[in-house]
Amino acid sequence: MTDAVHGATPAAARVSDAYRWTQLAIGVGAMVMIANYQYGWTFFVPDIQKKFGWDRASIQ
């Protein structure tokens, strides 16, 4: 009961440092990949605005 209160975890439930670094690397890689699509989307917004007459909030 005192372990749960103080935030201690059993040794079997701990995650290795290598696994944590791997998760971080995968997360950073995913963010880099999606950033290109997010940046590229901004090039289409003005054309969509002109063609359909929508405001920017409706397009986004």
CA 5 from centre of chain: 31
pLDDT tens digits for 13-34? 788 999 999 999 999 999 999 9
Instruction: Calculate mean pLDDT across residues 45-57.
Output: 93
The pLDDT value recorded for residue 7 is: 61
Band (pLDDT 50/70/90 cuts) for residue 54 is very high
Domain boundaries, the chain: 16-59
Distance between CA atoms of residues 47 and 7, nearest Å: 54
pLDDT at 59 over 70: yes
Distance between CA atoms of residues 53 and 19, nearest Å: 49
The pLDDT value recorded for residue 15 is: 86
The pLDDT value recorded for residue 45 is: 92
- Sign of the torsion formed by the C-alpha atoms of 8, 10, 11 and 12: negative
Distance between CA atoms of residues 18 and 34, nearest Å: 24
